[in-house]
Structure 1
């Protein structure tokens, strides 16, 4: 069962490269141990839904007995995403352990090493951002407990290069907390204001996603072709790699990059698993 992100109603109606939805649209991983969602949860929320949290929420989460699900704000969860600063990195033959601090607490994040992978061939791109001590990262993973000590089994951990992502995540975690403790927010229509139109960005992005190519702003024909290829080519949640787009369009990779840069700049597409893989921002 693919992991999903619930629309909690606090104006988070768009998928982005910042949000917890990055674990599906961005990471594209599938839960290793599919579990059924609890019957009747709020708004269809299931425990395998990726939940944005703070580390304090991870530490304070309740677990009645070792086989029970963890709970925060009264709701069960397994998969989490959070951001923080890497305080230390410890490399072992089978795993890498990161101590991550987000200002509310510290938790260990373990990423298991693929035994078939050749470490000499990993991260060979010299310009690719790396995970380093004191750097910031985003984590997607599963909360686990062993010998009464909690840690995160990481599906994905990547460096943060845009520090707006840190503030975005804290706001998103707050919105989810409010959803479960106070219920859904009043409709934004009740005060006569259109949801997402306060700064004009949300409204324009919705138009891009619903109206498609006809609603694109003044972009070059090249960017328009890249957009149409991304939108209409069958793909996984990870989107399409630049090489695949170039093959589909029958043009050099360098030209695809030029068109994609225009689309990235105006927020119509976003990067997923790496800087060379993109997906269309859907409303």
Structure 2
């Protein structure tokens, strides 16, 4: 998925399925614009069409500054939306088929208009091996959020049954990821923040040099480790290299660290393969690699 703060984001391989070949989703929308949107709406949003994964709750709570404005989710305009829900009811009229859909966060009506151009997108003749749009099945809908007489519905361009139920969980995760992106920012800005804060706090307890990157004697970086583990490792590396290593009590006296803290650090180093036990479980030596 690709997102940015100008509301430009693209769907993934799941969103590219379901009768959307031959020019793509936007081209299909344009070909059916007469039955799906009001006059002039295509020109109003030309050049800034987006496709956003959402939940029904987000659609029901979307804000619309005024009747002619686009709806907003997380203060970001939405044009095309995609969501997955279970079909609770199907109502057929002469001009459209209305599906009442529920995704666990809310229910909304999805209207798919009937005309000759749309016939190829209907799943009424999908064959015995493929699920059909019937009550009880899960389906993915692509369309535009609309409001009529203070009641919201989605004008669907495409709606198809779900065949791989992993897609349901995938969609909810994708909708969550996009929501967090626009409300909290890119995930990159949070990487390492909690670890760095904890590292600085623990480093102040054991001296300024506790945070130095531990390196093996051959110059290779060691696995990531806590500041306490780094101090124990450095003590072992700088100690006598006689094959026997150092006992926990020696490390406690040398480093001035509590006995349980040294044991915990040793367990961490043993776990990531940086040291090994020698004559007993509390005597350790550096494992060169």
- Relative to structure 1, the CA distance from residue 109 to residue 25 in structure 2 (aligned partners, 3 Å threshold; closer, same or farther) is closer
Q: Which deviations, in whole Å up to 9, do the C-alpha atoms of 1:120-173 show, x marking residues without a partner?
A: x95162323201101100010011111111100101100001110000000000
| Distance in structure 2 (CA, Å) of the matches to 1:54 and 1:69 | 17
Larger radius of gyration: 2
- Relative to structure 1, the CA distance from residue 103 to residue 163 in structure 2 (aligned partners, 3 Å threshold; closer, same or farther) is same
TM-aligned CA deviation for residue 93 of structure 1: 1.1
Q: Which deviations, in whole Å up to 9, do the C-alpha atoms of 1:67-109 show, x marking residues without a partner?
A: 1110010101121000010000001111100000000000000
1:182 partnered with 2:184:
yes
| Distance in structure 1 (CA, Å) of the matches to 2:151 and 2:178 | 25
- In structure 1, the residue matched to 2:104 is 103
Q: Which secondary structure state, in structure 1, belongs to the residue aligned with residue 69 of structure 2?
A: coil
- Relative to structure 1, the CA distance from residue 56 to residue 146 in structure 2 (aligned partners, 3 Å threshold; closer, same or farther) is same
| Distance in structure 2 (CA, Å) of the matches to 1:66 and 1:124 | 38
TM-score, L = length of structure 2: 0.53
Q: Which secondary structure state, in structure 1, belongs to the residue aligned with residue 178 of structure 2?
A: helix
| Distance in structure 2 (CA, Å) of the matches to 1:25 and 1:188 | 36
- In structure 1, the residue matched to 2:157 is 155
Q: Which deviations, in whole Å up to 9, do the C-alpha atoms of 1:26-50 show, x marking residues without a partner?
A: 682324325245xxxxxxxx4x210
Indicate if the aligned counterparts of 1:61 and 1:70 stay in contact, CA closer than 8 A. yes
- Relative to structure 1, the CA distance from residue 103 to residue 29 in structure 2 (aligned partners, 3 Å threshold; closer, same or farther) is same
The counterpart of 2:175, out of the listed 155, 173, 176, is 173
Indicate if the aligned counterparts of 2:82 and 2:142 stay in contact, CA closer than 8 A. yes
- In structure 1, the residue matched to 2:25 is 29
RMSD between superposed Cα atoms in Å: 3.4
Which structure 1 residue ranges, 5 or more long, are not aligned? Answer: 38-45, 192-283
Q: Which secondary structure state, in structure 2, belongs to the residue aligned with residue 140 of structure 1?
A: strand
Indicate if the aligned counterparts of 1:97 and 1:109 stay in contact, CA closer than 8 A. yes
- In structure 1, the residue matched to 2:133 is 131
TM-aligned CA deviation for residue 178 of structure 1: 0.5
| Distance in structure 2 (CA, Å) of the matches to 1:83 and 1:105 | 11
- In structure 2, the residue matched to 1:146 is 148
| Distance in structure 1 (CA, Å) of the matches to 2:116 and 2:20 | 27
- In structure 1, the residue matched to 2:62 is 61
Structure with the bigger RCO (C-alpha within 8 Å, sep 6+) is 1
| Distance in structure 2 (CA, Å) of the matches to 1:15 and 1:173 | 10
Indicate if the aligned counterparts of 1:80 and 1:141 stay in contact, CA closer than 8 A. yes
Give the number of aligned pairs. 174
TM-score, L = length of structure 1: 0.54
- Relative to structure 1, the CA distance from residue 163 to residue 111 in structure 2 (aligned partners, 3 Å threshold; closer, same or farther) is same
Greater share of helix: 2
Q: Which secondary structure state, in structure 2, belongs to the residue aligned with residue 162 of structure 1?
A: coil
- In structure 1, the residue matched to 2:13 is 17
Range that drifts further, 59-68 or 24-33:
24-33
